[in-house]
C-alpha cells in the first residue's frame, strides 16, 4: 500500500486537515478539573509508590542536587 493512497478496509477516511500550515500549540482537550475518582486513584497511586520505595529519600535528593551542581560547574567552566 502506498502511504496516503488508501485507507485500511473498514475504516472511514481521515477528516481533511483544516490547514497544512496550522502548527504549534493546540487547544486543551478539556478544562475540567479532576473528579473525585481521579483524586482517589491518585492517592492510591501515591501510596503504592511510597510503600514500594520508589521515591528518593531526602539524603538521596541532596546527593543528586550536589552532583547536578558539580556537573553544571564543569559545563560552565
pLDDT in tens, 45-69: 999 999 999 999 999 999 999 999 9
Model confidence at 24, pLDDT cuts 50, 70, 90, reads: confident
Mean pLDDT of the chain: 83
- Which residue has 564543569 as its cell numbers? 74
How many Å apart are CA 24 and CA 30, to the nearest integer?
18
Q: Are 49 and 55 in contact (CB under 8 A)?
A: yes
Q: Are 8 and 14 in contact (CB under 8 A)?
A: no
Above 90 in pLDDT, residue 42?
yes
The reported pLDDT for the residue numbered 45 is: 96
Helix (H, G, I), strand (E, B) or coil at 47: helix
Q: Give this prediction's pTM.
A: 0.45
Q: 8: which DSSP letter? A: -
Q: 60 in the Ramachandran plot: left (φ > 0), alpha (ψ -120 to 50) or beta?
A: alpha
Amino acid at each position: 500500500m502506498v502511504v496516503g493512497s488508501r485507507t485500511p478496509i473498514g475504516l472511514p477516511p481521515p477528516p481533511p486537515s483544516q490547514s497544512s500550515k496550522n502548527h504549534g500549540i493546540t487547544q486543551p482537550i478539556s478544562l475540567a478539573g479532576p473528579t473525585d475518582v481521579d483524586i482517589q486513584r491518585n492517592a492510591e497511586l501515591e501510596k503504592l509508590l511510597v510503600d514500594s520505595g520508589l521515591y528518593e529519600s531526602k539524603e538521596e535528593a541532596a546527593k543528586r542536587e550536589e552532583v547536578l551542581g558539580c556537573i553544571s560547574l564543569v559545563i560552565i567552566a
